[in-house]
Structures are given as structure tokens and as C-alpha cells.
Amino acid sequence: MASARTLAPPRVASEVPFELDSGVCFLSTSGPMNLEAAPEVTPAKPHLLRRMYDWTVGWAERPGGAWALFFIAFIESSFFLVPPDVLLIALCVGAPKKSFRFALICSAGSVLGGMVGYAIGWGAWNAVKGLFIPYIFSQEAFDTVQRLYQGNAFLAIVTAAFTPIPYKVFTIAAGVFEVNFWTLVFASMIGRSARFFIVGGLIYIFGAKIKAMIEKYFDLFAWALLALGIAGFVAVKYLR
């Protein structure tokens, strides 16, 4: 009599997932162990300008934020790409009662940096031109500033100091085209102080709730104030 054979149950292929540090792997139960690591996805790094922005704003959470504000305002006047407004806003929101102090620090740093920008243009432009064009500003922008300086240099600098127009182009070009140094200084004091004290004043009065509005609409707000200022000059001229 033939002995009865015990039949093994059919094997059903399946894969059991489990995790490794490098990703998710699958353990096959239907045969030899089969490890297949899912490809690791490396998150994309933010672009340079965003990293500079994050680095700038990050100083609001560290000791020495006021010194960082002065330094960033100083270097932005000649080559740094992120405007000091972003750190000024963050510092003022964190301590609204110090808003005017922060605005003064930012104004002083920016005007002194503008003087350095003038010195670069006046004494070292031929040596450093390749570092600025086209990396910091374009040749077209530089040529446009030259044409503006052939008109009213004082008004051109005040406009650049107050509005979103890149101020650094005007400080360096002022030295290259030998604009009167004190014209640059006084125009910068007016334009930069007006810009930063308006930001500080709004946060001093309205507090943190104004932060989002300033960040979103600052450029439009600056252009509107500039238009009102020009309208005032025109009105005074024709009412004499």
C-alpha cells in the first residue's frame, strides 16, 4: 500500500514592506530574499536669493540683531541683493517700541554704505566692474542711471533711495560719473530715512498686524508716496 503524501499548501507570492534608513524595501516571501530599496529623493535646495532672504530674516531671532541690521543695510547699498527692510520689519515686529531706533540704525548703515559704493565707483570701478556687471546689476541699468544723472541727479538718488529701484546702482554710478559727493549723501539721507522710518512708524503704531500688509504691498506703497511727493513739488512750483 502506497504511503499517503502530505501536500503542502500552495505558495502565494507576496511582498512585505519594511523600512531601512535609505528608503522602503520589500521582502519577498515567495523565494529568496529580494531587497529593493526605493530611490532616495533629495529635496531641492532653495535658490540663492531665497537662502539669502532666510539668512537675513534669521538674525531677528539671534542676539546682535541690531548690529546685523546695520551691517546688512551697509552692504546692500553696494552689492548685497536682499534689502534690509525684511530684517527691519522682523525686528520691529518683535519689539515695536524700538521701531524708530531700528529705523535709525538701518538708515545710518544704508547711507554709510552708499558712501562706500560711491568710493568704489570713483576709485576702483575699472578693477571691479566685472564683479558687478552682470552679476549685481545689468549694463542697461547702469546706462539708464548715467542718463538720469545728466538730468537731476539729486532727484534721481532720492527716488532710488526711497523706492524699489536698486539703490546700489545709483551709489556706484554716482562715483563713476563724478556726481557731487554731498549730493549723494543728502539725497540718500532723505530717501533712505523716509523709507525706513515709514516702515518703523507703521509697525510702532499698528504692531504686528501690519507686517503682512507691508511685506505684500510695500513696493506699491512706496511708488504711491513717490507720486504724491512729485505732485507736491509740481504744485509748489506752479503755485508760486
Between 211 and 90, the higher pLDDT residue? 90
In a domain, 90, yes or no: yes
Cross-strand partners of 208:
none
Average pLDDT over residues 144-161: 92
Strands (E), the chain: 15-20, 23-28
**Band of pLDDT at residue 118, cut at 50, 70 and 90:** very high
Q: Is 50 exceeded by the pLDDT of residue 237?
A: no
pLDDT (0 to 100) of residue 156:
93
**Band of pLDDT at residue 18, cut at 50, 70 and 90:** very low
Q: Give dist(CA 184, CA 139) in Å, integer.
A: 21
Structurally, the chain folds into a number of domains equal to 1
The number of angstroms, rounded, from the C-alpha of 191 to the middle of its chain's C-alpha atoms is 19
Q: Is 50 exceeded by the pLDDT of residue 239?
A: no
Between 193 and 95, the higher pLDDT residue? 193
Q: Give dist(CA 126, CA 175) in Å, integer.
A: 12
**Band of pLDDT at residue 165, cut at 50, 70 and 90:** confident
Q: How many CB atoms lie within 10 A of CB 148?
A: 19
Q: Give dist(CA 232, CA 240) in Å, integer.
A: 12
Model confidence over 130-152: pLDDT tens digits? 988 988 888 988 999 999 999 99
Q: Is 60 exceeded by the pLDDT of residue 232?
A: no
pLDDT (0 to 100) of residue 59:
64
**Band of pLDDT at residue 169, cut at 50, 70 and 90:** very high
Model confidence over 31-52: pLDDT tens digits? 454 445 444 444 445 556 567 6
When mean pLDDT is compared over 158-167, 178-187, 208-217, the highest value belongs to: 178-187
For strands 23-28 and 15-20, give the pairing: antiparallel
Q: Give dist(CA 188, CA 194) in Å, integer.
A: 10
Q: Give dist(CA 174, CA 122) in Å, integer.
A: 8
Q: Is 50 exceeded by the pLDDT of residue 199?
A: yes
Nearest Cα neighbor of 117 from 70, 72, 76 is: 76
Between 1 and 179, the higher pLDDT residue? 179
In a domain, 30, yes or no: no
**Band of pLDDT at residue 153, cut at 50, 70 and 90:** very high
Domain range enclosing 183: 48-239
Model confidence over 59-80: pLDDT tens digits? 666 678 889 999 999 999 988 8
In a domain, 165, yes or no: yes
pLDDT (0 to 100) of residue 135:
84
Nearest Cα neighbor of 105 from 67, 157, 161, 56 is: 67
**Band of pLDDT at residue 7, cut at 50, 70 and 90:** low
C-alpha cell belonging to residue 46: 532653495
Q: What are phi and psi of 25, to 5 degrees?
A: -115, 165
In a domain, 201, yes or no: yes
Choose the weakest-confidence range: 1-10, 121-130, 152-161, 170-179.
Answer: 1-10
